[in-house]
Amino acid sequence: MPTDAARGGQDPSPTCAAAIYVEAAGPTGVVLEVWDTNGNRRFGAVRTVNGNGNQQVTTGEFPFYQDHQLQFRIVMQGRGDGGPNFVRLDDLVFQCYS
């Protein structure tokens, strides 16, 4: 597999993905980001969940580069209409593939 010069020539394999389940009272924007400890945003995804039970938000696959101390950031934007609002986050998963 080719190496990435931007990461000091490190082999990017394996690839990994992050996912979380979100349950919301109504349409809610969710941002799921993966950061390294140097403050570099590694990968992110923006999704809208529609309020119909648990829905998975996933980043899709990205190169791992053997970063063993990753941080996750989750940002949510609710409906803003004064109606009932709640967001439940469940089961953050980080999975790698060879």
Domain with residue 22: its CATH number is 2.60.310
Altogether, the residues listed in the chain come to a count of: 98
Structure confidence by residue, pLDDT tens digits, 34-50: 998 888 888 889 998 88
Overall average pLDDT of the 19-44 stretch: 89
In a domain, residue 82? The reply is yes
In a domain, residue 61? The reply is yes
In a domain, residue 5? The reply is no
Q: How many independent structural domains does the chain possess?
A: 1
Segments forming the whole domain that contains residue 41: 11-93
7 vs 40: which has the higher pLDDT: 40
Strand order in the sheet with 71-77: 41-49, 28-35, 71-77
